[in-house]
């Protein structure tokens, strides 16, 4: 991510330190992670200590300090999804992508995470990709869904 894009994001928020989280979210949204150079630039422009920015970036789960894939896959492992076969769906996603929860593939195409609940228990098992919810998943459905994210 280049410095000009970071500066534009900061300017959009009038360079206010009170907008730090919104600025980090915007950088994360565009870049899929928060590179150290971006954090250093935000620190410099907002006059906020880098240690404070790193604390915030590591505190909130929405932020990542390592590269993430263009498509973030979340598999619900909550009780309702688990008893309906979420483990089989997770196993299928792992086989198809070659990654385990917490990992990103080498092409930066997919990142995989498990979550405790996505808030739509009646649709379990549930897989979310890039904010789009796919419910009542079965291993066979997983193959078809992932094909849409090439």
CATH of the domain at 136: 3.40.30.10
Q: Is 132 inside a domain boundary?
A: yes
Same domain, 137 and 75: yes
CB 114 within 8 A of CB 81: no
Phi first, then psi, for residue 125 (nearest 5°) are: -75, 145
Domain boundary among 59, 80, 105: 59
> pTM here?
0.77
Residues 19-28 have a mean pLDDT of 94
Q: What is the pLDDT of residue 62?
A: 82
Residues 53-66 have a mean pLDDT of 91
Average pLDDT value for the chain: 93
Number of domains in the chain: 2
DSSP 56: H
Give per-residue pLDDT as tens, 70-116. 999 999 999 999 999 999 999 999 999 999 999 999 999 999 999 99
Residues 16-38 have a mean pLDDT of 92
């Amino acid at each position: 991510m280049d410095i000009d894009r970071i500066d534009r994001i900061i300017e959009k928020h009038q360079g206010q330190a009170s907008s730090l989280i919104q600025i980090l979210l915007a950088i994360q949204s565009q870049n899929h992670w928060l590179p150290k150079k971006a954090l250093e630039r935000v620190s410099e422009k907002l006059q906020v200590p880098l240690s404070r920015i790193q604390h915030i970036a590591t505190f909130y789960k929405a932020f990542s300090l390592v590269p993430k894939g263009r498509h973030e896959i979340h598999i619900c492992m909550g009780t309702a999804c688990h008893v309906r076969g979420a483990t089989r769906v997770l196993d299928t996603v792992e086989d198809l992508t070659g990654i385990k929860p917490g990992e990103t593939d080498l092409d930066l195409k997919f990142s995989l995470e498990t979550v405790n609940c996505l808030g739509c228990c009646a649709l379990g098992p549930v897989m979310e990709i890039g904010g789009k919810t796919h419910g009542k998943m079965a291993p066979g459905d997983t193959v078809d869904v992932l094909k849409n994210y090439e």
